[in-house]
Structures are given as structure tokens and as C-alpha cells.
Chains A and B, each alone.
Chain A
Amino acid sequence: MRWFRNKDTLYGFLVLLPSLVLLGVFVYGFILQTFLTSLTDWGRDPTQALSANPQINLIGFENYRELFTGFVDARFRQDLVNTFFFTLFFILGCIGLGLGLAIALDRAPRGEGFFRTVFLFPMSLSFIVTGTIWRWMLQPEGGVNQLPTLVGLPKGTFAWLTSRDQVWRFSWNDLPFFTGLTVGLVLLLVAIAAFRAGERKRGLMASVSAGVLFLWAFTLGRALKPLPYDELHGFNLAFIGIILAAVWQMSGYTMALYLAGLRGIPEELREAARVDGATEWQLYRHVILPMLAPITLSAVIILGHISLKIFDLVFAMAGADNAPTDVPALLMYLTTFRANQIAKGAAIGMVLLVMVALVIVPYLYRQLKGEVRR
């Protein structure tokens, strides 16, 4: 139908217009404004922060520089490390448990409906409810730590959310090196996959990029030091409890995704594999799991962007002020609304946005590309 051919199409546009304007302002307008705010010194002078007409000066990217290389913002850098480890284990947990549950349910057990309901119900709860419950579950002297005593074993001693232990420590100055190394390794895997699939050009591109990155990591990356001293960061063990609660809440989601995928695989395909003499293990390894790969990708991206934004669960479980379990989303809230460091808070918000956009934009592009061609 041609656009504006008649007044019906005009109505269509007019109906859509208010939503477009609202989203334009509330999403893109406000993002722009946050960005501009992040370039100012708003809140550096406490007397100016809350005045009706604050004196605000542009200071360029100073807030960002401080976040990544400034002495006072070490907490933000630890928060980034926290988010990294939380995201990693949260995704692994949800994918592993979700896939296991989906396969177990797909093999038609008795009471399948009951099991499915049980595994998925936490999805309907608020992170605040989940957090409140698990806060009680993880009291160091009670809850989970008392469970072994029910079968006569000594009680657990892990301090859960109040733990102050940190493992896998590394210096912030090593970050460029590790980043180069990791991205290089990923590119190398891409290259191997491409060569196996017979795409020589793509494989060459990827392996050359990987080589350049390795070279950079071991030379310039090693020499690049964001801080003049070594600042150690690592995985805070207090996060184990939060990961546990988050997996409890969200693994039902991956289960539902995988179950929908498994149900979409035609029975004939499984039969054909069995007739060819494949064992059940081989059937899953070589037929079914490869077919679920696109679902894994979707799940990783959806779970990944949730975990980058995680806020309410941590707030409810450990409180806003428990430093070992801090995350950037929470720090943004504290910086802006408690400490009134508005420009710094805006900068943290923008860093979060960039991290989420890096994950979501390629995903949206891929998801919608096929459709646009149609």
C-alpha cells in the first residue's frame, strides 16, 4: 500500500505519532541529555548540587577519565569487575541448568506440567521478593548453612553475602593486556570455525585480526598503564549468593526457551538418527544441541543485558551499602541520588548504556535484518 495515498494512511501515521514522540523524548532525548550532563561538573561542588539554579560548567570527558583511571573511583572499577564475574557465572548457570531441565522435561517424564510450573514460577516474582527471600536463606548462621545439620553433618561456615574474600585478583593495569588476549582468543575461535565451514576469506580475516591483537597485547598492551600504581581487583565471593538467587529466578526462562526449541525439532529427525545407529548421547551431541545454538545465542544476549543492568536483586539481598556486592547500576543510584554527584552518576549511566548497547544493537540488527528483506 502506498504511503499517503489516501487519508487512511495519514490516520495510521497520526496514531503512531504520539508514541514516536514520547519514545523519541524519553529514550533518545534523555540519553542525549544524560550524555551532556556527564560532560559537566554538576555536583562536584556540594553547595551547587542542590541549588535551584546550579552553576554548571563543561569539563569534557573528565568524569569518564576519573571513573577509569582516577584515584577516587576505585569502587567503580571493582564494580565493573563484579559485573563481569556476575554476568559470566549467571549466564553459565542459567544456560546449564535451563538446558538440563529442558532436556529432562522433553523426555516426557510423569508430572511434566508440575515440574514445568515449579521451575518457571520464580520468573513471575519481583527481584525484590526473590532478594528478600534469599537474604534470609543466606544468613551466615542459618538458612542454607544449617541444611547439612538436618542430615547430621556439621553446619556450613561460608559467610555468603557478608563474605569479604576476593579471589582471582589482578591489577587494573593488566586489563588492556587481558582484554586484548581474550578478544584475540575469541577471534581465533571464529577463525577456526570459519575454516572448518570452508569460508577461507572470513577465516583469514579473523586469524589476521587475532594475530594483530595478540601482538598488541604483548607489546603496547603490556606497556599501557591506566594507573601509576597497581590496583588489585578480583572476584568477590560475596557474589556467589547473588548468582545463586539470580539463577534460581531466571533459569526457568532459559528452560522455556530451550523447551520451545526442542519441541520444534521434528520427531522424524530423531528417529532417523536412531535408525542410523546413533546412541542417545550422540543424538544430543550431534543433532539436537547444534540445532539449539541460535537459542543459546538469544538466551546469552537477553540474560547478559539483564545482568549488566542488575540492580533490584542486589539492592534487596545485600542492601545498597554493602560494598563487596556493589554493581555499576547501584553505584549510579547512590552517586546520583544519595551523594548528589549528578554528573558522575550520569557518566556511570552512560557507561552502562554503552555496555548494553554493545550487546543489544548487533542482536536487534540480526533479528530484524531477515524481516526487512522480506
Chain B
Amino acid sequence: MIGRALQYTFLLLATLFFLLPVYLVVVTAFKEPSAISLSTTWQLPDRWYWESFAQAWNAFLPKLQNSFFLTVTATLLSAVLGSLNGYVLAKWRFPGANIVFPLMLFGMFIPYQAVLIPLFQFVRDIGLGGSLWGLILVHVVYGLPITTLIFRNYYAEIPDELVEAARIDGAGFFGIYRRIVLPLSLPGFVVVIIWQFTQIWNEFLFAVTLVSSPANQPITVALAQLAGGEAVKWNLPMAGALLAALPTLLVYIFLGRYFIRGLLAGSVKG
């Protein structure tokens, strides 16, 4: 009995810890700027004020569009490449694969500060400096290790006999991929797309260094700048934070199962 009581007390306290910031964001976002004061932080708004969202929406709409374009394009490209790579590594193992694969994987753990200077110069030199396409290229390349890893592990579950049988029937490399592997790939694609979508949407370092022109900024950079400015009242950053969080939050709420699978794939067992 005492055990049960302890268990629920702990769970409720933890829930409070996790949800208090959410409560604060929501009540702050709905307050009139003049009604926000530090001493009344935790009180509900006297009047629910929607104007902040309209303002944040207007200010952030172009940045949200940038983020959507960037995230969707880079996610799809890296998912397709990851699927093909995973197929090769899982079903056509070649000598040296045991060396190449870890070398690929290392790429997803490096601190990007160790490549940032040449990367910045490279993107500028090929004429993509400051544009979203430069950022897309970078996200596709550094996304390859994780997408390849997830697909490789996923395809390892497809029985080799199935591949062998298709070969005997005369199917080649691409035939096997199209007729056997691809039709079984949907769950793999869901995991990879959700993972990459979340990662790229939330990314900041590349966005803040590689995209110089404000017109091309993704949402994370715009939000950091807005919240970092001292003059702004807090209703706007809070409404902006909610807008910036919404896409990944919705993905998490509706497809949480796949999100967790991606989460675990990044750490457990290559």
C-alpha cells in the first residue's frame, strides 16, 4: 500500500515538473503585454488575449515556410538515400563493409564545430552560401549515417531466402529492391522520416552559421533572435515558441510509437 502511494506521489510530482513550463508558456502567451509582470507570472490571464498569436504568426510565417521547405526536402532525400544504402549494406555485404560502416556511423556523433569552418567555405564556394539549398545539402549529408543505420537494421530482418528466391526468379539488384524490399519498407520509412523531420526542424547550429540572409532563416534562428532581444515582451516569444514547437509536437503526439523507435535506434546496437 505504501509502495503504491509512493509510486503515485512520485509520478504526480514528476508530471508537475514536466508540465509546469507548459502551463507557464500558455498563460504567458495568452496575456496582454501590459498584463505580464514578474510577480504575477503564475496567474491565469484576466482576459484571454489572442493577438500575440496573430502577431507571432505574421512575423514567423515566412520562417515557418522556410523550415517546412528545408525539412521536408532534406528529410525525403536523406530517407531515400538511407533506404538504398541500408539495402546495400544489409543484403549485399562486401569486403570492407565492416570498416566502412563504422566510419559512416562516426559521422553522426561528431561535434559539427570540428567541420564548420571548411563546411562554411565549401557551401559558399559552390554558390549556395546563405541559401536554403546549402542547408538542405548539409542536412542530407549529415543525415546519411542515421538513416542508413535505421534502414540497414530494418532490412536485416528481411529473410535472405526471400532475396535469394527472387534472384533465382531472375530479379536483379534493382528488381529485388523494387519488388521485395521497397514494399516492406513502409514502417522503416515512417521511423526515418519522423526522426529526420524532428531533427532537421529543431536544428540550430547549421542554420545560424550557414544562412546569413534573414529572408532564408529557419524558425529556430528567428525564435532565438526574438527571445534574445531584451526589449520584447514575453507574450511574443512564448507564442512563437508554441508555433515553433507545434509541428514536431503533433508528430510526437500522433506518431509517438515510431518516434520512440527512432530514438532507440540512435543508441542501441548497430
A309 at the interface (CB under 8 A from B): yes
Interchain CB contact under 8 A, A361 and B228? no
Cβ-closest chain A residue relative to B250: A124
A117 at the interface (CB under 8 A from B): yes
Interchain CB contact under 8 A, B117 and A122? no
Point out the residues of chain B lying under 8 angstroms from A372, CB to CB: 98
A353 at the interface (CB under 8 A from B): yes
Task: Known contacts A8-B173, A15-B85, A356-B111; decide if A142 and B41 are in contact (CB<8 Å).
Answer: yes
Interchain CB contact under 8 A, B42 and A364? no
Interchain CB contact under 8 A, B107 and A141? no
A248 at the interface (CB under 8 A from B): yes
Interchain CB contact under 8 A, B38 and A20? no
Point out the residues of chain B lying under 8 angstroms from A100, CB to CB: 10, 14
Cβ-neighbour of B24 out of A7, A109, A143, A256 (below 8 A)? A143
A56 vs B112: C-alpha distance in the bound complex, in angstroms? 24
Interchain CB contact under 8 A, A128 and B223? yes
A1 at the interface (CB under 8 A from B): yes
Tell me how far the C-beta of B224 lies from the nearest C-beta in chain A, rounded to whole angstroms.
5
Interchain CB contact under 8 A, A104 and B234? no
Tell me how far the C-beta of B20 lies from the nearest C-beta in chain A, rounded to whole angstroms.
8
Interchain CB contact under 8 A, B105 and A364? yes
Point out the residues of chain A lying under 8 angstroms from B92, CB to CB: 1, 8-9, 12
The interface stretch among B128-136, B182-190, B238-246 is B238-246
The interface stretch among A232-240, A266-274, A344-352 is A344-352
Interchain CB contact under 8 A, B115 and A31? yes
A319 at the interface (CB under 8 A from B): yes
Cβ-neighbour of A352 out of B103, B114, B117, B144 (below 8 A)? B114
Contacting residues of chain B (236-270) with chain A, CB-CB under 8 angstroms: 237-238, 240-241, 244-245, 248-249, 251-253, 256, 259-260, 263-264, 266-270
A371 vs B98: C-alpha distance in the bound complex, in angstroms? 9
Interchain CB contact under 8 A, B95 and A3? yes
A7 vs B14: C-alpha distance in the bound complex, in angstroms? 58
A77 at the interface (CB under 8 A from B): no
B220 at the interface (CB under 8 A from A): yes
Task: Known contacts A22-B141, A136-B28; decide if A336 and B117 are in contact (CB<8 Å).
Answer: yes
Residue from A30, A31, A100, A128 with most neighbouring chain B CB atoms (10 Å): A128
Interchain CB contact under 8 A, B248 and A125? yes
Tell me how far the C-beta of B113 lies from the nearest C-beta in chain A, rounded to whole angstroms.
4
Task: Known contacts A124-B248, A146-B39, A364-B105; decide if A118 and B19 are in contact (CB<8 Å).
Answer: yes
What's the count of A-B pairs with C-beta under 8 Å?
281
Contact size class for B?
A: 35 or more
Task: Known contacts A126-B245, A312-B204, A315-B204; decide if A33 and B118 are in contact (CB<8 Å).
Answer: yes
A372 vs B93: C-alpha distance in the bound complex, in angstroms? 11
Point out the residues of chain B lying under 8 angstroms from A120, CB to CB: 252, 256, 260
Point out the residues of chain A lying under 8 angstroms from B203, CB to CB: 126
Tell me how far the C-beta of A207 lies from the nearest C-beta in chain B, rounded to whole angstroms.
32
Contacting residues of chain A (105-123) with chain B, CB-CB under 8 angstroms: 105, 107, 109, 115, 117-123
A367 vs B102: C-alpha distance in the bound complex, in angstroms? 10
Interchain CB contact under 8 A, B223 and A129? yes
A253 at the interface (CB under 8 A from B): yes
Task: Known contacts A23-B141, A120-B260; decide if A34 and B109 are in contact (CB<8 Å).
Answer: no
B11 at the interface (CB under 8 A from A): yes
Point out the residues of chain B lying under 8 angstroms from A309, CB to CB: 111-113
Cβ-closest chain B residue relative to A355: B111
Tell me how far the C-beta of B246 lies from the nearest C-beta in chain A, rounded to whole angstroms.
10
Task: Known contacts A128-B224, A133-B21; decide if A30 and B118 are in contact (CB<8 Å).
Answer: yes
Cβ-closest chain A residue relative to B256: A117
Point out the residues of chain B lying under 8 angstroms from A365, CB to CB: 102
Tell me how far the C-beta of B242 lies from the nearest C-beta in chain A, rounded to whole angstroms.
9
22 contacts between A and B (CB under 8 A): A1-B93, A8-B173, A9-B92, A9-B173, A16-B85, A19-B81, A23-B103, A31-B110, A37-B117, A109-B7, A121-B252, A124-B248, A124-B252, A132-B227, A136-B237, A137-B21, A305-B109, A311-B113, A316-B223, A361-B106, A364-B105, A368-B102
* A-B interface, 4 closest residue pairs, ranked by CB to CB distance from nearest: A142-B38, A126-B202, A124-B252, A353-B114
A-B contacts besides A129-B223, A315-B208, A352-B114, 18 pairs, CB < 8 Å:
A7-B173, A12-B94, A13-B88, A15-B173, A18-B81, A100-B10, A119-B14, A127-B202, A133-B25, A142-B37, A315-B224, A349-B111, A349-B113, A349-B116, A353-B110, A353-B114, A356-B111, A357-B106
